[in-house]
A = this chain, B = another copy of it.
Amino acid sequence: MTQHDEAFLADWAVQSAFGAVAGTHGVDREAATAPDGEQRRWFAELLESRGFTVQRDAIGNQFGLLELVPGAPYVLTGSHMDSQPTAGRFDGAYGVMASAHACFRVADELRADPASARFNLAVVNWFNEEGSRFKPSMMGSGVFTGKLSLEAALATEDRGGVTVVEALDALGERGNFEGLDVASYAEIHVQQGRSMEQDGVTIGLVDATWAAHKFEFKITGEQAHSGSTLMSDRRDALLGAARLIVAVRELVDEFEQGMLHSACGEIDVYPNSPVVVASQVKLLLDFRSPSEDVLKAAYTSLMATVEKVQHEDRVGIEIIAEHSWDRNPYSEPGVELAREVAEQLGLSNDRVLTVAGHDSTNMKDKVPTVMLFVPSVDGVSHNLDEFTREEDLIDGLHQLTGVVRRLAEGALVA
């Protein structure tokens, strides 16, 4: 292991302590919470110590900029440091730390060989990728790419009624940086699945995202005494919600194995009292599939269940928010560039799909983008026990460094 690799692991160990959950290897570092703020301050100092200028934009994205070629556009690389509640320490944070160290190395190389530099270097820690405290997810990159309104994002409230603008201002993490001219983008992430580990692949060349359809349902019943009210008089919103949760799970078995993922992770019940029939439930459900046809068939089936539950349980069911995306390719030249770098480094590699969304899902629609994975043991994700082996972290860092070097030299840009 090189001195550079050891420096990465030392910084990696420090960053893992922010929001660490006692007695576990995981973290609890939701967006714009105190540990997120502490980590951001530490990360800014790290970047500044290596000659980077740190800026924050209006949605709290944190940028580290290094100008090597005056006035030229930037190669941007990064991920997110926020986490789900009680989650793993690799998800997002690995990408940010690998990006910083990749840029440190490439900067050293380009300073030694200035003629080969076409673009400048920038590292980014995107705000609120997880979307657990403030919805939607991928908020920072969504605003940066113009897919999400800044005003709407800043006004978003958490469950306690705290807005994004209040939470960012409390940390001093809302800035006035106007953005930068991005030539190309690279991101590395732990795979949130187990296919690479099973197949013995070290570097995943992400070539497409699964299609997805996400829904927020509102189920409306009527408050009633949960003991004495006649069963036939009840309009039980929680029962309606439970029927949808069961139905979306059972739908999975109507398709070939692995072709449909469905989930409900969040439910909000009112009044949520032991002796009151619930009058309102909000429920987040989603479908994901590598096939748009499967997704459409699942949607049709879900709507039939909605009709049935409305009728039989006498509850109202509305979709109050939904968004969906098609199976969405990453650019082929980016995949090929990543493959060439991996081959040069002698790292086993293969194309993979990503089921989860990433900030690169936003960026790839705007600029040439490379998305990379390293394996995750048993694919454990959004869990304190998430784990990626040290040698995979280092191989991924080498891979990302190679990609950033090629991008800084002008690859993928005409």
Q: Do the beta carbons of A193 and B242 come within 8 Å of each other?
A: no
How far, in angstroms, from A201 to B264 measured CA to CA in the complex?
47
CB-defined A-B contacts under 8 Å, sample of 27? A131-B274, A131-B275, A135-B274, A192-B227, A192-B228, A222-B383, A223-B384, A226-B382, A227-B261, A228-B355, A231-B260, A236-B249, A236-B263, A239-B245, A239-B264, A241-B242, A242-B245, A242-B264, A246-B246, A265-B272, A265-B273, A265-B278, A267-B267, A267-B272, A274-B284, A276-B382, A277-B382
A7 at interface, CB cutoff 8 A: no
Contact B193–A274 (Cβ < 8 Å): no
The count of identical subunits is 2
User: With A85-B271, A223-B383, A228-B356 as given contacts, are A263 and B277 in contact (CB-CB < 8 Å)?
Assistant: yes
Choose among B85, B135, B226 the residue that contacts A286 (Cβ–Cβ < 8 A). B226
Q: Nearest CB to that of A30 among chain B residues?
A: B273
Structural contact, B85 and A380, CB atoms closer than 8 A: no
> Taking the complex as formed, is A178 at the interface, i.e. its CB lies under 8 A from any CB of chain B?
no
Interface contact B265-A238, CB-CB below 8 Å:
yes
Judge whether A194 is part of the interface by a CB distance below 8 angstroms.
yes
A173 within 8 A of B: no
Q: How far is the CA of A136 from the CA of B272 in the complex (A)?
A: 15
Write out the residue numbers on chain B whose beta carbons fall within 8 Å of the beta carbon of A261.
226-231
Q: Which of B238, B260, B279, B354 contacts A245 (CB 8 A)?
A: B238
Report B-chain residues with C-beta under 8 Å of the C-beta of A276: 84-85, 87, 132, 265, 382
**Residue among A265, A271, A278 with max Cβ neighbours from chain B (10 Å):** A265
* A382-B246 contact given A84-B271, A265-B273, A276-B265, CB 8 Å threshold: no
- Of listed A130, A231, A278, residue having the most chain B CB within 10 A: A231
A225 vs B88: C-alpha distance when bound (angstroms): 11
Compute how far the CA of A214 lies from the CA of B226 in the bound complex, rounded to whole angstroms.
Answer: 12
